[in-house]
Amino acid sequence: MRTKAFDAMAMGMWELADAVWQETERLLWKPPTAWFSVNAFYTSSGLRNWYVNFEHPTRRTTDGFDTFALTVDLAVDADLTGWQWKDEDEYAHVRRPGTVTDTEHQAVNAARDQVLAMLAERCGPFADAAAWSAWRWNRAWPAPRLPRPAKAAPGGCTGRRLNQR
């Protein structure tokens, strides 16, 4: 199922849809030029794990921020003692048709090395991992909402398919 979704994505056939994050709270650390984000996932009992998503650098748009996940990820134990690569089979799948180009692949490899060094050196978001384990979403904060994209002019093209539910 996921590989079919990647194939559709490669052909530009995807839809933006409203969704609400479920099961965990997430704190995201994303330097704008980095080819990765570091996510801390929380449950009611505390920090569940860290998750590194390899993705395009963040790009500001009129609707907010865009990035593009490159399918390969790194799951890291809450206490930083262990980690494992995730979805490398899917990464190989998107590499074959060029959905992830050679240039992007080189950037991902450099980002992998950078993240592993951050883990080894306990720097970046991992510098104060114990303190981050105490972080909690304040239930009084309003849920973030993305702005609705402007509708295209008649006969115009937005360059992406949007599901405006």
Domain range for 56? 27-132
CATH no. for residue 112? 2.40.380.10
In a domain, 155, yes or no: no
| Mean pLDDT, range 49-53, rounded to an integer | 96
CA–CA distance, 44 with 34 (Å, rounded to integer) = 30
| Mean pLDDT, range 62-82, rounded to an integer | 90
Please say if the pLDDT value at position 60 is more than 80: yes
Percent residues over pLDDT 70 in the chain = 79
Alpha carbon 28 to its chain's center:
9
In a domain, 125, yes or no: yes
DSSP string, 70-137: EEEEEEEETTSS-EEEE-HHHHHHHHTTTSS-HHHHHHHHHHHHHHHHHHHHT-GGGTTHHHHTT---
In a domain, 164, yes or no: no
Sign of torsion, CA 8 10 12 15?
positive
> Which range, 12-21, 124-133, 145-154, has the best average confidence (pLDDT)?
124-133
CB distance 75 to 90 below 8 Å: no
Q: How many domains does the chain have?
A: 1
Q: Is 106 exposed, middle or buried (0-12, 13-18, 19+ CB in 10 A)?
A: exposed
Between helix 88-95 and helix 2-10 the angle, nearest 10°, is 30
The tokens of 110 are what? 């450099």
Q: Please tell me the predicted confidence (pLDDT) of residue 9.
A: 66
Q: Please tell me the predicted confidence (pLDDT) of residue 72.
A: 93
Residues with Cβ within 8 Å of residue 49, at least 6 apart in sequence: 40, 41, 75, 76, 77, 78
Q: Looking at the whole model, is its pTM more than 0.85?
A: no
In a domain, 140, yes or no: no
Please say if the pLDDT value at position 156 is more than 50: no
In a domain, 112, yes or no: yes
In a domain, 91, yes or no: yes
In a domain, 11, yes or no: no
| Mean pLDDT, range 32-46, rounded to an integer | 93
What are the tens digits of pLDDT across the range 90-128?
889 888 888 889 999 999 999 999 999 999 999 999 998
In a domain, 20, yes or no: no
Q: Please tell me the predicted confidence (pLDDT) of residue 85.
A: 96
Q: Please tell me the predicted confidence (pLDDT) of residue 119.
A: 96
